[in-house]
Structure 1
Amino acid sequence: MLAKLHRSGELTAVWVPDAAHEAMRDLVRARATAMRVLGKARQHLQGFLLRHGRIYAGKRGDSGLSSLAHHGALRSSSEPNRSAGLHSCSDRAEARVDCLTKRIEELAPQWSMTPFVEAVQAMRGVAFIVAVTVVAEVGDFSRFDNPRQLMAFLGLVPSEHSSGATIRRGGITKAGNALARRALIEGAWTYRIQARVSRKLHDRNERLPQAIRDIAWKAQVRLCGLYRRLSAAGKPKVIVTTAIAREMVGFLWAIARQVQLGPAA
């Protein structure tokens, strides 16, 4: 039966990652788990300090407890005999995240998918960790004939409930890769700010081909405008960022295609 299906062209090829790719993917997933543990440890520490009236009076950035000033102030203001264990848990979790991040950075130059990692960093909101996460989870971009297939793989397309001539659209399917989807949605928040090329983004793009930089800038202009339009229409922010993440996938697919075609393209 398999031979007959193969002869008729009804079998779909499955991409099988090599050992190096599996190792990188395992590291990325281990780091994601360590990040969740770190976040939980910091929540426990913050809750303990708040219960005892230890409130940080300084300015907090978007990172909250990940701010070094905030974390240091909480440590110095707490009573050692009560919070030593919570601080120790937070420190161990943070050390594990740093260790895994360093290991990913060390292995990246030897990885066959590194050209894709460097290229997709041309996108705003796709720094090194997000790029490695997406590439490690997606793998071979060439197995997707169009961006919609990649969007469906990541679970970012709307669900559908159909009965006869009635078609109802729902939220995203979430049927795809949760880790890559979460990384993209986190990156989508950066498009709430007006389109511009920051210093970090400029440094990442400096060595990339002009074709890739053009795609990334086109994406930034389009997605920043889309964010403003959807927000002005009264859409909830979570829906806006999900829509932005879905659009980001299309541009990531286009950049990956440029890498596969080579400089001549």
Structure 2
Amino acid sequence: MEKGSTAYVGLDVHKDSITVAYAIDAGDVQLLGKSGVTTTDIDHMCRHLKSKARAVRFVYEAGPCGYDLHRELVQKGFECMVCAPSLIPRKPGERVKTDRRDAAKLTRALRAGDLTAVHVPTVDDEAFRDLARAWATAKEDLRHARQRLKSFLLSHGVRYTGRADWGPSHRRWVSQISFPNRWQQLAFEEHRHTIEDRLAQCSRLEMSLREAVTGWRSYPAVLGLQAMRGVQFTTAVGVLSELGDLERFEHPRQLMAWLGITPSEYSSGSKRAQGGITKTGNSYARKLLVEAAWSYRHHARVSRDIQVRQDGLPKPLIDRAWDAQLRLCRRYRKLSARGKNMNITVIAVARELAGFVWDIGRLAMSLASDRYRTTPPRLN
């Protein structure tokens, strides 16, 4: 029997199994069955499918199983797409969901071209992102641990009269607290030890991240973004590790849409209605940009910290960062003068800030030189 030209294969991937459905050209969708997840099982599945068509195209949903299957299939010479689950077409009223139906649906959607691919990072980019996320998680755990201790003290009537910002004076005050009941004292000490453990973990991860970033291919962009106001090391590394590669965005509007800071819209005929931001895409990168946008509520100026971060950077980057600060500070004041809500104003500034991140990040990568990589400026 003559082979068909193309086999479209939908994979419903789970931790211990893969449900496979396929269709040859415009033929009916057929169920191949379940496959294991080991290399031997995947080799057997690929041989079976390769015997049915000259070309084989795979697709599966992005999920907790990561991109190892994608890399393995691409290494074997197959075309593979990892699609965005939230953008898969769904029929209204569809109430039955099984692995077989999901695999068949992916097969039909792949053949029709109705799927949206997600960006698959390189191995190095994914490894650096894992380290950056571990750091962000440790900082979030530290915040929760501090909040738990504050709640514990408040529930027992212990209040700090100054600003409880966990500065040196606040930490000294916490270290002097004692309770008459030994069980309460034990609970208090456990809360304190948790905070100290999280502080040590954050310190270790930050040191490792600062050492690792100098060998990362996006290191020039990390330095370039720090020339901007409100974008310190934490923000620059967090945003770029989640983006992976700025070159994949051909226009800054694509980056804004990926971050979910563009307005939602429902328009029909002559009517056009816009709502709040879409909040699609990466929530952590969006959070970092919004936090950075708050700094533009003040008048434009180059502080000492910004001067230190700009030390050793090419002049075009410094000039572009100053242009960004002038525009964004003016934007904030203009929207505030119009009576806009403060949160709406900050989101609007964050949207434009994303455009400058796209521009300055790409400019930094293009200006990178051998001296710039081997003699890096000081990270702050």
User: Post-superposition shift, 1:202?
Assistant: 0.5
Alignment of 1:65-80 (within 5 A): 65-79=165-179, 80=185
1:128-172 Cα offsets, whole Å, 9 max, x none, are: 111011111112111111111111111111111233432211111
Query: Normalising by the residue count of structure 2, what TM-score does the alignment of the two structures yield?
Result: 0.62
Select the residue among 207, 212, 216 that pairs with 2:312.
207
Contact residue 224 and residue 360 of structure 2 kept, 8 A? yes
Contact residue 31 and residue 100 of structure 1 kept, 8 A? yes
Counterpart position of 1:132 = 237
User: Post-superposition shift, 1:189?
Assistant: 1.3
User: Post-superposition shift, 1:14?
Assistant: 6.6
SS in 2 for 1:65: coil
- Alignment of 1:246 with 2:351, yes or no, is yes
Q: What root-mean-square deviation, in Å, do the aligned CA atoms of Structure 1 and Structure 2 show?
A: 2.4
1:59-90 Cα offsets, whole Å, 9 max, x none, are: x2xxx433232233123234344411111122
Counterpart position of 1:46 = 150
User: Post-superposition shift, 1:240?
Assistant: 1.8
User: Post-superposition shift, 1:30?
Assistant: 1.5
Select the residue among 327, 331, 335 that pairs with 1:230.
335
Contact residue 49 and residue 78 of structure 1 kept, 8 A? no
Alignment of 1:150-189 (within 5 A): 150-189=255-294
Contact residue 54 and residue 78 of structure 1 kept, 8 A? no
Q: Which has the higher helix share?
A: 1
Contact residue 218 and residue 365 of structure 2 kept, 8 A? no
Amino acid at match of 2:157: G
Counterpart position of 2:139 = 35
Q: Which has the higher strand share?
A: 2
Contact residue 220 and residue 368 of structure 2 kept, 8 A? no
Equivalent residue pairs, number:
256
- Alignment of 1:259 with 2:259, yes or no, is no
Query: Normalising by the residue count of structure 1, what TM-score does the alignment of the two structures yield?
Result: 0.88
Unaligned runs of 5+ in 2: 1-5, 9-54, 56-78, 80-112, 180-184, 370-380
Write the distance in 1 (CA, Å) between the matches of 2:170 and 2:333.
Answer: 32
Say which one has the larger Rg.
2
Amino acid at match of 2:246: F
Unaligned runs of 5+ in 1: none
Select the residue among 36, 57, 70 that pairs with 2:161.
57
Contact residue 209 and residue 263 of structure 1 kept, 8 A? no
Write the distance in 2 (CA, Å) between the matches of 1:106 and 1:193.
Answer: 33
Q: 1:214 to 1:53 in 2, by over 3 A?
A: same
Contact residue 54 and residue 74 of structure 1 kept, 8 A? no
Higher relative contact order (CA 8 A, sep 6+): 1
Identity between Structure 1 and Structure 2 (%): 45
Contact residue 228 and residue 325 of structure 2 kept, 8 A? yes
SS in 1 for 2:176: helix
Select the residue among 200, 209, 215 that pairs with 1:104.
209
Write the distance in 1 (CA, Å) between the matches of 2:205 and 2:193.
Answer: 18
Amino acid at match of 2:302: V
Amino acid at match of 1:50: L
Counterpart position of 1:19 = 123
Counterpart position of 2:190 = 85
